[in-house]
Amino acid sequence: MKNLSPILLFTIIATLFFSSCSNQDEKEKNEEPVEKDMFLYNIRVNDLDVIRDTLKQGENLAGILYSTGVNNQTVHNIVQKCDSVFSVRKFKKGNSYTKMFSDSTLTYLIYEIDVVNYLLIDLSDSLPQVSKCQKDVYIEERHAKGTIQSSLWNAMVENKLDPNIAIALSEMYAWSIDFFGLQKGDYFKVVFTEKFVDSVSVGVESVKYALFNHMGQDCFSIPFEQDGFTQYFDENGKSTRKAFLKAPLRYSRISSHFSNGRRHPILKIVRPHHGVDYAAPAGTPVQTIGDGVVVKKGYSGGAGNMITIKHNASYTTTYMHLQKFAKGVSTGSRVHQGQVIGYVGSTGLSTGPHLDFRVYKNGTPIDPLRMVSPPTNPVKEKDMPAFKHLADSLVQILQSF
């Protein structure tokens, strides 16, 4: 090779190179392109004809199957199998369904029960199979914040957040913040997990921890497991749960405050009103603000249907003008904090549906909105190092956005 001239050597190398490229191009031409697998409802659909539709008025499962050529006996078998998985009577107008055909023969029928669950009818074998399945759900942790301009609910809408976060926050802070008395400028920061299906949000899974600034004061809610139970504490390890809830119902408005001289709307005389009236739609659930025993239940003149609960040696609460009582609640029965005991009504002397809520301390009526409730047990001393480590990290996250 060393006796070859430079020109001849270059010619040989160039010939070999272009020959190799030509052979590679020819090989690539002869190779068939690899088809990418496509899946829908975990079914490979490359070789299937897929038709999507929505259930129309008067349309049902049997009719859909008949329209695709499925015989009577097979339709009967499928409907029977469905009843043990998901009743065909629960099919709803407007819900989506998908038909998949192989050589013009129906192979799969999928009915979407909701955004996550679906009914799969598999006709690919001689014996059709029916099963209830779930789409893949992805969980994503998110951070969000907002400022109160009018209400917590509106703040969620204004910040394009799931309003259910408002419900979760109102439950987390039910013992420390009066959500009927929020101030303009109050703000919240919250860390929550959100569920996604097919890259579309299908709702909030849970609110993990939060900061709520009410009237200039930071209120942290830190989850911590102690004695096998997860509870919420502030940044110093004090329980956010108090002995009593701040209000006996959700999302209403105060129509009358505690007063020693209110003009009665029906009797037209001035007399004390030793309670707080919450205006709310008839049928709104009313819950007890604390654990206790029902000492009185029934109709009581101007108070209408009412319940009185004794919580401890000092405190008693009364709930008046109820439309009806909750099942299982009777005189002498024990009730637990947050348990529904009745429903808002307008019985007795009342101008419209509302709850007249009263609190008595040692037999004397007190203003429910000014009641100070002592906290429950704090984080145990032996658990404080672990709690502080967790709390410091979560507080830092909340203050970072």
Q: Give kind and range of the element (H or E) at residue 278.
A: strand 276-279
How far, in Å, CA of 97 to CA of 150, rounded? 42
Residue 320, both tokens: 């008046």
Strands 305-310 and 354-361: unpaired
In this structure, the answer to whether residues 263 and 364 fall within a common structural domain is yes
Helix (H, G, I), strand (E, B) or coil at 359: strand
In this structure, the answer to whether residues 355 and 275 fall within a common structural domain is yes
CATH code assigned at 110: 3.10.450.350
* pLDDT at site 7: 61
In this structure, the answer to whether residues 114 and 146 fall within a common structural domain is no
pLDDT in tens, 133-143: 999 999 999 99
pLDDT in tens, 231-248: 899 999 999 887 888 889
In this structure, the answer to whether residues 144 and 107 fall within a common structural domain is no
pLDDT in tens, 78-109: 999 988 899 888 999 999 999 999 999 999 99
- Comparing CA positions, the residue from 244, 249, 349 lying closest to residue 300 is 349
How far, in Å, CA of 205 to CA of 193, rounded? 5
Structural domain including 169 reads 138-233
| Residue 24 included in any domain | no
* pLDDT at site 67: 93
In this structure, the answer to whether residues 212 and 148 fall within a common structural domain is yes
| Residue 381 included in any domain | no
Number of domains in the chain: 3
pTM of the predicted protein model = 0.63
In this structure, the answer to whether residues 54 and 73 fall within a common structural domain is yes
Counting DSSP H helices and E strands in the chain, the numbers are: 6, 24
| Residue 355 included in any domain | yes
